[in-house]
Structure 1
Amino acid sequence: MKLQLIRNATLKLDYAGRTVLVDPYFAPKHSQPSFAGRSPNPLVELPLGVDEILAGVELVIVSHLHEDHFDEVAMELVPKHLPIICQPGDEAEIRKAGFTQVSPLTDIIRWQGLTFTRREGSHGLGPVLEDMGAVMGFSLEAAGEPSIYWAGDTVLYPPVADLIRATSPDIIVTHSCAAFWNGDLIVMDAEETIAVCEIAASSLVIATHMEALDHATIGREDLRRAAESRGIPASRLLIPADGEVLALGAADFRGPSA
């Protein structure tokens, strides 16, 4: 399989012969308002053109409708005929934007040999959830491919930790920029990302959603230093750059003794 980090949460997956785009966010640099009063968003341009990003895409996943996960530019440029999987409750707005094949992921969806399973997340804890609203993660499986758990915009809280222990995914994708909203953590920080690595001793963790938005409080080097100080090697925690392609095979999923 191949996983390409585009920017922020946007991923392009080549998996079991299919190409899937996750949370398309196509806004040009500094074209959107600030979240934290530091800078307009996004902080960086896309690493490649939208046509190249969309080339070959057969299915789109939209985890929730925050503007840094499915923005107006993406709503305009993503072809309207492409099937979209979204969280329940978002389908009406996505259809309103002209998309004709929209399926809410209430539990399990099987599509072209791929199995998507809805996973719960919490975009922060406590009162901040009134602002953040509902989100979802998902697990992805197919014959002959590593299993993936895409955690999405969630902090590490007991249901996420319990899921990791119960399912032992080969790959875990985290959002790890330590973004805050009104003083509350709304995605994983370095400590929580390291805890994921420790809970999932046989998983490969891929940290994304970094260095793209002004309410983030750590960057890639901060996370790398924190992980190394706790004995997490770079081979177990990948922190890709925007545009980077990770080609992952069986040798990448043999746990810490490999």
Structure 2
Amino acid sequence: MRVQLIRNATLKMNYGGATILVDPYFAARHSLPSFTGRSPNPMTELPVTTDEIVDGVELVIVSHLHTDHFDAAAMERLAKDLPVICQPGDEETISKAGFRDVTPLESELKWRGIKITRREGNHGTGAVLEKMGNVMGFSLEAEGEPSVYWTGDTVFYPPVEQTIRETRPDVVFTHSCGAVWDNTLIVMDGAQTVATCEAAPGHATVVAVHMEALDHASVDRAALRAFADAKGVAAERLLIPADGAVMEFSKPRV
């Protein structure tokens, strides 16, 4: 598996012989409103051109319709005949944007030999959870590839821990910027990312993404690294890639 972190939650994955784009967010730096008044969003430019991002893409997975996960710029740029997998309830909006092959991920499906399984997520807690709306994560499995659990926009809570312990993924992607809404954590922070590392099997690699792109974040890469180091989480156990970084993972022999 080869993965490039584009920016925020956007990943370009070569997996099971296919090229998959996750949560495309193509907005130019400072082109969208602030969430907190600290800065317009996104706070960083794309590390590569949109032409480079879309080159070779064969499938798009959209976890939910917040603008930092599927924005107008991406909707305009992506070919409308690309297959799109989304959470149930979002297919109508995506179809209205012109996409002609939209499939809601109810539970699990197979696409070109890749098993894609929907996973639950809580985009916050308490009253904020209802404001944030439904989200999903997903797992990927394919012959000869490492198993993947992409948690999506969720806090660390029992269903996330249960998914990790039951599926024993080889690679776990977390959203770890500690974004806050109405004084409530809506994705993982340093402590919850470390808890994810502790829940993951010993051979697994955790990859923290969704970092330093949005003005409601409370944790940057340096702070996450320092916190993980203080808790004894090795750098090879928790990767914190920069935007544009390319990573390769093989199926482990365990």
TM class, shorter-length = over 0.9
Q: For residue 124 of structure 1, what is the amino acid of its counterpart?
A: G
Q: For residue 249 of structure 2, what is the amino acid of its counterpart?
A: L
How many angstroms apart in 2 are the aligned matches of 1:174 and 1:42? 19
Contiguous gaps of at least 5 residues in structure 1: none
- Structure 2 counterparts to residues 93-242 of structure 1, below 5 A: 93-202=93-202, 203-242=204-243
SS of 2:35's partner is coil
SS of 2:85's partner is strand
- Tell me how far 1:249 sits from its aligned partner: 2.1
How many angstroms apart in 1 are the aligned matches of 2:248 and 2:118? 25
How many angstroms apart in 2 are the aligned matches of 1:173 and 1:249? 15
SS of 2:151's partner is strand
How many angstroms apart in 1 are the aligned matches of 2:151 and 2:142? 18
Count, aligned residues: 253
How many angstroms apart in 2 are the aligned matches of 1:28 and 1:230? 36
Identify the residue that residue 3 of structure 2 maps to in structure 1. Answer: 3
RMSD: 0.9
SS of 1:152's partner is coil
Runs of 4+ in 1 over 6 A off after TM superposition: none
- Tell me how far 1:171 sits from its aligned partner: 0.5
- Structure 2 counterparts to residues 38-49 of structure 1, below 5 A: 38-49=38-49
CA contact (8 A) 2:24 2:69 kept: yes
- Tell me how far 1:109 sits from its aligned partner: 1.2
Contiguous gaps of at least 5 residues in structure 2: none
Identity %: 62
How many angstroms apart in 1 are the aligned matches of 2:150 and 2:200? 14
How many angstroms apart in 1 are the aligned matches of 2:130 and 2:159? 19
Task: Tell me the TM-score normalised to structure 1 length.
Answer: 0.97
Q: For residue 106 of structure 1, what is the amino acid of its counterpart?
A: E
- Tell me how far 1:254 sits from its aligned partner: 6.4
- Tell me how far 1:162 sits from its aligned partner: 1.1
CA contact (8 A) 2:59 2:82 kept: yes
How many angstroms apart in 1 are the aligned matches of 2:38 and 2:135? 25
